[in-house]
Structure 1
Amino acid sequence: MKPTRLTKLLNIRYPIIQAGMSWASSNAALPTAVTNAGGLGVIAAGPMYLDVFRNTVREVKEAVEGKPFAVNLPLYRPEADKFLDVIEEERVPVIFASQGGPKAHLARFHALGTHWIHVVSTLEHARKAAAAGVDALVVVGAEAGGHPPANGVGTLVAVRRAVMELELPIIAGGGVADGYGIAALLALGADAVQLGTRFLATREAGVHDNYKQAVLATGIDGTTLVGIRKLPIRMTKNAFARDVLEADMNQQDDDAYATLFNSSSLRQAALEGDVERGKVELGQSAGLIDDLPSAAEVMQRLVSEYEAAIHRLVD
């Protein structure tokens, strides 16, 4: 795989990023495996306690032996400033941030040599983050699990437009589970590709086995976008999702809708294994996944598939 602006910036071998996923990568095992296989592993700080987070950062740092790794931090979360302090103290080389403005933090972390990558789901937010001075962007399309753009714009269009307009490196996210998808997005001009659902379905991912089995059971049309009136989530079409979609159809009043929406959580699915009433956040790429290998095996496959895709075009 040819070097890109992003691989050169972060000093990683492959332009492959493991998405920061609450609980799935809120551990040392998954980020370590991805980084040691030549990609960029990302610790998801979102649901972690501060002391556990610090210990996990130190564990990953020791296990990767100087290779780059990252932390994903939603800036809106309680005690975000304390987590940023830990990131500074532990000299984490890369930050992936979302759901908050980066401008107030950039000088502090750039002075340390830490690269700040901002995750965005709309072109408007991409422009603002680029103007603020971030080092790179993750541009997420509608196919992505978790919180994709409510406007429904797909990855191919969102990423291509960002590449056309913005000068900084672009990481594409949404709808990719293999090396063929990586080749397609790099051909659009992306500098790297972020994969979430594919790494969720690995042995190192720190979620309940029921959640992993839900990935395998979900077809390409097996996810839906729920909560348009609140914070849109792409997830499986389980009992909870059906109830929310029915509430949308019936124009349920705001209070009742909020009560219903807040009756379920990602934790319920990820840790407790309730895949019928919990928020089983998955991307459409779940329909391309049918096994639970190790993260290192996934990395090897992604590179081989990418090479096969390129050879198919040029031979």
Structure 2
Amino acid sequence: MTRIETPVTRLLGTDLPIVQAGMSWASSCSALPLAVSNAGGLGVVAAGPMRLPDLDRTLAEVAAGTDKPWAVNLPLYRAGADEVIDLLLRHRPPVLIASQGGPRRYLDRFHDVGARCLHVVAGVEHARKAADAGVDALVVVGAEAGGHPPPAMVATSVLVRAVARAVSLPVIASGGIADGAGLAAMLALGAGAAQFGTRFLASVEATVHDAYKRAVLEAGVDATRTVGRGLGVIRALDNDFTARMLELEAAGAEEALRRKIFQASTLKDAALHGDVSGGKVEAGQSAGLVDDVLPAAEIVAKIVREYRAAREALPPIDDNSGSRLS
């Protein structure tokens, strides 16, 4: 199998520096994580919206379906997070990716069962605190990301470079990355891998409604909006829901009204029921770079081909040209 070795692949034991993002509903299943892990990347089960019996079954399916590394993503703010942690510890996932909370809540217990612990961060200060707490690596999320972008809205290229300069841990870049050229760019900035979310939304195995996948394919790079100021900002594809939220925000509507509209629309409505007009169609700006729905293993292979092409296209340095490099 093709290998691209980096600090992240050495840490996690994967063949490739390709991480499939943990996406609620889309990878709250075994099929997508298994396909990515078996193709050489890191497949990630999204535990966020899952009921305990469903999560229990899914983790057993993933463990039985691969001898490759795989991961679970856990937003620590979810209801019943402590019960989820207890369940995960029984399954001993090779990798835990945690977000929306402090690392000390889980770190020692997962290290005790041999798991690598990655923490999602949205800024340099966050990154330093997580590194000091003892996490094994960082997932650095930039403004282009779908779902929950960083509050300061710093671009991935800038934030990844800043974090790579600030800490000595392996870094996984996330946000606005859809192909092998993006992977090459993130590795050049100091990351050891890239996380792909929206690209894997448009996969055969992603368990979201076909209307959701079509909306991603039809989107341009300028088709997402950030809404929910003061409520937990999300990036989603432009639709009736985002238009209403932007209208209320521009008018300075009271928080109670904005919260009512914001909470009445859900990701589940879009992902499972196909309501791409009124639901939260969470996706990153990279939707404008996604043109097809493919099996996840083909997506991984395509990213590798694109990465090779991007590297080969870089101009060499000619030290014998007669000019001096300063």
Judge same fold: TM > 0.5, yes or no: yes
TM-score, with structure 1 as normaliser? 0.98
Q: Which amino acid aligns with 2:12?
A: L
Asked if the contact 2:236/2:281 (under 8 Å) is kept, the reply is yes
In structure 2, the partner of 1:19 is 21
Q: Which amino acid aligns with 2:103?
A: P
Q: CA deviation at 1:229?
A: 2.0
**45, 59, 62: which one pairs with 1:60?**
62
2:215 partner SS: helix
Q: CA deviation at 1:122?
A: 2.1
2:215 matches 1:214: yes
Q: Which amino acid aligns with 2:37?
A: T
In structure 2, the partner of 1:256 is 257
Q: CA deviation at 1:314?
A: 5.1
Q: Which amino acid aligns with 1:292?
A: V
Asked if the contact 2:123/2:163 (under 8 Å) is kept, the reply is no
Segments of structure 1 that go 5 or more residues without pairing to the other structure are none
2:224 matches 1:223: yes
Identity between Structure 1 and Structure 2 (%): 55
**Distance in 2 (alpha carbons) for counterparts of 1:163 and 1:148:** 19
In structure 2, the partner of 1:306 is 307
Larger mean CA deviation between 84-93 and 188-197 belongs to: 84-93
Segments of structure 2 that go 5 or more residues without pairing to the other structure are 317-326
In structure 2, the partner of 1:196 is 197
Q: Which amino acid aligns with 1:21?
A: M
2:96 partner SS: strand
**Distance in 2 (alpha carbons) for counterparts of 1:104 and 1:71:** 16
**Distance in 2 (alpha carbons) for counterparts of 1:150 and 1:223:** 16
Give 1:8-47 correspondences, 5 Å limit.
Answer: 8-47=10-49
**Distance in 2 (alpha carbons) for counterparts of 1:108 and 1:260:** 39
Asked if the contact 1:150/1:228 (under 8 Å) is kept, the reply is no
**Distance in 1 (alpha carbons) for counterparts of 2:252 and 2:124:** 29
Q: CA deviation at 1:123?
A: 2.0
Asked if the contact 1:216/1:286 (under 8 Å) is kept, the reply is yes
In structure 2, the partner of 1:176 is 177
Give 1:1-315 correspondences, 5 Å limit.
Answer: 2-64=4-66, 66-313=67-314
Q: Which amino acid aligns with 2:18?
A: I
Asked if the contact 2:124/2:166 (under 8 Å) is kept, the reply is no
Q: CA deviation at 1:108?
A: 1.2
Q: Which amino acid aligns with 1:26?
A: S
Q: CA deviation at 1:230?
A: 1.1
**Distance in 1 (alpha carbons) for counterparts of 2:44 and 2:286:** 19
Q: How many residues align?
A: 314
**Distance in 2 (alpha carbons) for counterparts of 1:201 and 1:131:** 36
Q: Which amino acid aligns with 2:128?
A: R
Q: Deviations over 1:11-48 (max 9, x none)?
A: 00000000000000000100000000000000000111
1:234 partner SS: strand
Q: Which amino acid aligns with 1:46?
A: G
**Distance in 1 (alpha carbons) for counterparts of 2:148 and 2:105:** 24
Q: Once superposed, which parts of structure 1, at least 4 consecutive aligned residues long, lie more than 2 Å away?
A: none
TM-score, with structure 2 as normaliser? 0.95
**Distance in 1 (alpha carbons) for counterparts of 2:310 and 2:88:** 38
**Distance in 1 (alpha carbons) for counterparts of 2:24 and 2:229:** 21
Q: CA RMSD in A?
A: 0.9
Q: CA deviation at 1:105?
A: 1.6
Pick closer, same or farther for the CA change 1:98–1:215 going to 2, 3 Å. same
**Distance in 2 (alpha carbons) for counterparts of 1:35 and 1:217:** 28
Q: CA deviation at 1:128?
A: 1.4
Asked if the contact 1:5/1:169 (under 8 Å) is kept, the reply is yes
2:226 partner SS: strand
Q: CA deviation at 1:179?
A: 0.2
Asked if the contact 2:4/2:15 (under 8 Å) is kept, the reply is no
Q: Which amino acid aligns with 1:122?
A: G
**Distance in 2 (alpha carbons) for counterparts of 1:219 and 1:2:** 30
